Amino acid sequence: MKTKFISINEVEYIAHRLAVKFMTWNEPIPAFGSRFSNVLESCISVPF
């Protein structure tokens, strides 16, 4: 069985789509690049 890694771009796309779908207030979505660097990458790599 081949392991598929999820990319940061895929996470950004999914997070943005979910925010647009479920946000209940009319507030702008912050830029994805404003997050803490390497924290998300670390979380994504832990299961693998």
CA neighbor of 48 nearest in space, from 14, 1, 6: 6
Q: Which residue has the higher pLDDT, 38 or 9?
A: 9
Residue 23 contacts by C-beta under 8 Å, 6 or more apart in sequence? 29
Verdict on whether the full-model pTM lies above 0.85: no
Q: pLDDT band at residue 48, thresholds of 50, 70 and 90?
A: low
Average per-residue pLDDT for the chain: 80
Query: Looking at the predicted structure, is the pLDDT value of residue 47 above 70?
Result: no
DSSP 10: H
